């Protein structure tokens, strides 16, 4: 049986300030570093022996992964970084405080942009757009490695991981909108005979 573990990066400085982050590159907060260490310790107890680590190209995911690898004591692993795993691009919302965005565009409109499946903010991506880059990448690059019995760790972002969870668990576009992906909390799936199980 093969394992796939998904980890959302630890809390970033912009998460802490309640800002739309998207493809910007803030660092981890002290809490985010602690979350990554905690995640690494938790995964160490599970003894998964990861062969591959996939991350986005954004520092918060890379730094979280580096801390996890340090906690796991892994120094030999195949590391692949790809923009396909980046967070959803928030377009004109990027860098704005979420409360300020609500004042500018209205609470209902910002809620629609954040929580609808296929309505993007101005100049940005919807969750559907994010899924359309994440899922093909998963099918083409990650799934074949799972089929070859490689344990895989993915360190990425709330919305890129939400798209993966939707695909892996067969959730509808409505069901995934209520699914929260917490910072620093691993989600592990067993992969056997072409199927995923939590």
pTM > 0.85: yes
> Residue 187 in contact with residue 39, Cβ under 8 Å?
no
9 three-state secondary structure: coil
- Tens of pLDDT along 135-153? 999 999 999 999 999 999 9
> Residue 113 in contact with residue 20, Cβ under 8 Å?
no
State which residues form the domain around 157: 2-197
Q: What is the CATH number of the domain that holds 80?
A: 3.40.50.1240
Residues 34-44 as b/e (b if ≥16 CB within 10 A, e otherwise) read ebbbbbbebbe
- Tens of pLDDT along 157-171? 999 999 999 999 999
> Residue 127 in contact with residue 88, Cβ under 8 Å?
yes
- Tens of pLDDT along 72-93? 999 899 999 999 999 999 999 9
Query: Is 167 one of the annotated active-site residues of the chain?
Result: no
Q: Which of 35, 87, 125, 157 is catalytic?
A: 87
pLDDT-derived band at 191 (thresholds 50, 70, 90) equals very high
- Tens of pLDDT along 81-125? 999 999 999 999 999 999 999 999 999 999 999 989 999 999 999
Q: Which of 9, 35, 125, 157 is catalytic?
A: 9
**Inter-helix orientation angle 59-72/30-46, to 10°:** 40
Q: Total structural domains in the chain?
A: 1
Q: What share of the chain has pLDDT > 70, as a percent?
A: 100
pLDDT-derived band at 198 (thresholds 50, 70, 90) equals confident
> Residue 72 in contact with residue 40, Cβ under 8 Å?
yes
**CA–CA gap between residue 43 and residue 55 (Å, rounded):** 17
Query: Is 37 one of the annotated active-site residues of the chain?
Result: no
């Amino acid at each position: 049986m093969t394992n796939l573990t998904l980890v959302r990066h630890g809390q970033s400085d912009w998460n802490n300030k309640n800002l739309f982050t998207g493809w910007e590159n803030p660092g981890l907060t002290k809490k985010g570093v602690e979350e990554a260490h905690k995640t690494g310790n938790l995964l160490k107890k599970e003894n998964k022996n990861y062969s591959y680590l996939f991350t986005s190209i954004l520092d918060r995911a890379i730094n979280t992964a580096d801390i996890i690898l340090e906690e796991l004591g892994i120094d030999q692993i195949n590391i692949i970084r790809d923009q396909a795993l980046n967070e959803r691009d928030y377009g004109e919302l990027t860098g704005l405080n979420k409360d300020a965005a609500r004042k500018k565009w209205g609470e209902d409109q910002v809620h629609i942009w954040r929580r609808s499946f296929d309505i993007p903010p101005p100049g940005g991506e919807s969750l559907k757009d994010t899924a359309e880059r994440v899922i093909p990448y998963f099918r083409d690059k990650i799934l074949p490695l799972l089929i070859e019995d490689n344990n895989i760790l993915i360190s990425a972002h709330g919305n890129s991981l939400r798209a993966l969870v939707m695909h892996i668990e067969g959730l509808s576009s409505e069901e995934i909108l209520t699914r929260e992906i917490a910072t620093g909390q691993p989600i592990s799936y067993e992969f056997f005979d072409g199927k995923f199980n939590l």
